Every structure is written in C-alpha cells, then in structure tokens.
Amino acid sequence: MESESQSSLRYLDSASTSFPKPSSVLEYAITFCQTACVSPGRSSFDLAIAAENMQLETRKKLTALFGGTDPNRLVFGYNATDALNLVIFGILKKGGHVVTTRLEHNSVLRPIEHCIEDYGATATYVSFDSDGYIDPADIRKSLRADTRLVVVCHGSNVLGTVQPIGEIGPICREAGVPFCIDAAQSAGLIPIDMKAMSIDIVAFTGHKSLLATPGIGGLCVGAGVEIPHSRAGGTGVKSAQRLHLEEYPYRLEYGTPNMLGIASLSKGVDVIHEHGGVESVHKREMELASVLYDGLSSIKGVKLYCANHLENRTPLFSFNIRDLDPSYVGARLDVDFDIACRTGLHCAPLAHEDMGTAPLGAVRLSIGFLTTIEDVNAAVAAVAAIAAE
C-alpha cells in the first residue's frame, strides 16, 4: 500500500469513510481541478471536451468494475443515499410493494417509510439469522404480485456480513422484479458482477472503499430497467425540451456534476487495480481483520455481534464491553488512546433492535485501504485496557 503521513491518530472508522485518501487520488483530483475542471458537455471548447472525456472514462471504469454493460447507464449523484433515493422514490412513487431487510441503513429505510406514508406503498422487512445473513428463501417467500422492488445491502455496515446477492438476484429475475443492491460498504472491496449475479441496479458511494473524496456516488443501471423521474433540471443538452430527458445518463442526472469528485473516483478505481484489484484489496484487509477479530475475541468482557467466523465479510466488527455505554467506550478510545471508531446505532436501527443493542447501539471498529497492523494492535490493546478496568 502507498505510504502516507499520519498523525498519532489510529483511524479505525473506514466503514464511515476512507481516511486518509491515497496521495495519488488527491494529486490527480487537484491537478484535474486546476487544469480542466469545467462543465462537461455544455460547450465545444477544448477544456469542456477534456472534462467530458474524463467523465465518460470514469463511467466506463465503474461499469466494468460492477460487471455492467452500458457506460451511459452509469449515472453520478452525491453518494449512495442520494442514489437510493432516486431508485426508491422513482419506483414507489405510485405505490406498490417493496421487499428489503432489517439490516438496512436509513438510506433505504427512511425513503421506504416516506413512500409508505406519502404514496401508500407497503414493505416487507426480511430478518437475518444469528450469524447476520439473509436467507434467500425468505426473499422469495416475501415476493407478491404487486412487488415493485427488492433492495438489499450487499455488506452490512453494522455486522460486516456480506449477503448472498448471487442467490437473491436470480430469484428476483425469475419473478420479474428489479433487484437493487446498496453497495456502500462493498463497492471497491467485494466483487460485484451485475450479469453473473442478476443485479439490476447497483447504488454506490465513492468515499469509502472506492477511495474518492466525499460527495460523489451514483447508480449502475442494467439494461431494460427504467427508473421513473423524481427530479428534473438542467442537463446541458436538448435545452429546448420542456420535460427532463428520458435517455441515460441524463435521465437520472441533474445540474452541474461534481467533477472534482468524479476525478477522485476515477483515480480511486485506478489505485485499486494498481494494488491487484478488488479481490486483492479485500484479502489484505481481511488479513488485518483476522488480527482484530482474534484480539477482540480474546478480551474478557467483550461481546462481538454476529462474528462467529470470517467468511463472507467485510473488515468491520461491532462489539460492546460488559454493560458499558458504547458512547463512553468510544470517547475513551478517542481521548485516552487516540483511536477513531464509530458508536451508536450506525444509522441501522432495525439491525440493532434485532441484535438487542438498541437504543444505545455498539462500538464499531473498521479497517480500510491504509490501515496498518500497528493501528490494529493499538486498537486491540486499547479495548483490552478499558475492559480490564
């Protein structure tokens, strides 16, 4: 991995956002911003063409990364939450039934609740087992004649469990129901193949394992999947048309794009490939996760949630220490040991209800692209010190 200068902070909150960013990502984004960061596709001068070309190349890189087929169906937005809002409100604004899970982030749960309240939609929330996984058979049982969408988190931001997307996708395809995955925790870390897994829509964010700056994300939409408009605005093309454009990518893009973010995303994908690709990055991070898991498991008084093995996981763990308030533990890790972590409900309240950790939640430690073995060992030692008091 690239060598980066860091303070004494041991950063173990990569599930929230990757930090620090690889220097090559920042350098590329800044250089682009200084030399060609103009509105793409709005004009025919050289810089506008260069900006549009960079945007198109990034669409191609991400489409290939997700196993998509048409780069024009790779649309940019702010983040995974923004992308999921486009999907959920677009498909459910006339009502209908949606199947999702109790592992979901509020980026899925809240839009669905608004569709229930505002548009008369209905929802089925599939539970997870004691290991933190969804049974594809439960998805099948939940499908109805009026089901309009199935949306499932690929990787849980609370448990780190990677769901059996490749088994759920064919079930949805057979039923003719669009299947959307929330890839906020998996894009850039876990292999995604839309064709092989029968995925219709990938919602992703750039600022986590894709190593980009905050404020960039989007959707990769499969052929034949139509997401109705829930917004409208400028696209820079066909300006005389009174209604928003129907063709992709303009169908789901609105206004001036975040070109700095797209540039950082472009380089982030390159960096992943430079380090052996998604599988190689995941292998390296899970090697560190194994050390973290063994260390936390050995500490008396620490309870790990749904972490009985390390298969089909991302490198994060949620835990509590005896009956200590997780916010207290997080504050101690920060103030006394310079360990950055995440505490609370992690924007996934149903998961914590089922885990029995609501309303206080849990402590989460998560490993990222630039995490070191020293970071992991320091975190384990800090948790052990708190637990021993």
Identify the CATH number of the domain in which residue 16 sits. 3.90.1150.10
Is omega for the bond preceding 349 within 30 degrees of 0, making it cis? no
Residues 170 and 311 in one domain: no
Is residue 75 a part of any domain in this protein?
yes
Q: Please name the residue that has the structure tokens 């894009």.
A: 187
Residues 267 and 327 in one domain: no
What integer pLDDT is reported at residue 239 of this predicted model?
Answer: 83
Rounded CA-CA distance 295/129 in Å is 25
Residue 55, amino acid: Q
Is residue 119 a part of any domain in this protein?
yes
What integer pLDDT is reported at residue 98 of this predicted model?
Answer: 98
Residues 292 and 231 in one domain: no
> Which one-letter DSSP state was computed for residue 246?
-
Global confidence as pTM? 0.95
- Which CATH number does the domain housing residue 236 bear? 3.40.640.10
Rounded CA-CA distance 106/271 in Å is 30
Rounded CA-CA distance 321/302 in Å is 5
Residue 16, amino acid: S
What is the number of structural domains in the chain? 2
Residues 39 and 158 in one domain: yes
Is residue 106 a part of any domain in this protein?
yes
Residues 132 and 239 in one domain: yes
Is residue 151 a part of any domain in this protein?
yes
What integer pLDDT is reported at residue 7 of this predicted model?
Answer: 65
Residues 17 and 37 in one domain: no
Q: Beta-carbon neighbour count of residue 130 at 10 Å? A: 10
Rounded CA-CA distance 132/136 in Å is 13
Residues 184 and 43 in one domain: yes
234-246 in b/e burial notation, b at 16+ Cβ within 10 A? ebbeeeeeeebbe
Checking 33-40 for CB contacts under 8 A at 24+ apart, the result is: 33/259, 33/260, 33/263, 37/259, 37/260, 37/263, 38/259, 39/236, 39/256, 39/259, 40/236, 40/257, 40/259
Rounded CA-CA distance 57/68 in Å is 14
Q: Beta-carbon neighbour count of residue 347 at 10 Å? A: 17
Is residue 3 a part of any domain in this protein?
no
Rounded CA-CA distance 365/348 in Å is 16
CA-wise closest residue to 264 among 76, 6, 5: 76
What integer pLDDT is reported at residue 38 of this predicted model?
Answer: 87
Residues 65 and 157 in one domain: yes
Residues 14 and 71 in one domain: no
> Which one-letter DSSP state was computed for residue 159?
T
Residues 107 and 190 in one domain: yes
Last residue in a domain, options 274, 307, 340 = 274
Residue 369, amino acid: F
Report the interhelical angle of 259-274 vs 23-36 (nearest 10°).
140
Rounded CA-CA distance 202/181 in Å is 5
Residues 79 and 171 in one domain: yes
Q: Beta-carbon neighbour count of residue 227 at 10 Å? A: 22
Is omega for the bond preceding 20 within 30 degrees of 0, making it cis? yes
Residues 54 and 157 in one domain: yes
Is residue 144 a part of any domain in this protein?
yes
253-282 in b/e burial notation, b at 16+ Cβ within 10 A? bbeebbbbbbbbbbbbbbbbeeeeebeebb
Task: From residue 334, give the alpha-carbon distance in Å to each of 63, 125, 197, 268, 328.
Answer: 39, 35, 40, 28, 10
Last residue in a domain, options 224, 254, 274 = 274
Domain limits at 143? 23-274
Rounded CA-CA distance 233/229 in Å is 11
CA-wise closest residue to 362 among 339, 380, 340, 342: 342
Residues of the chain whose pLDDT is less than 50? 2-5
What integer pLDDT is reported at residue 37 of this predicted model?
Answer: 87
Is residue 220 a part of any domain in this protein?
yes
Last residue in a domain, options 217, 248, 274 = 274
Is residue 132 a part of any domain in this protein?
yes
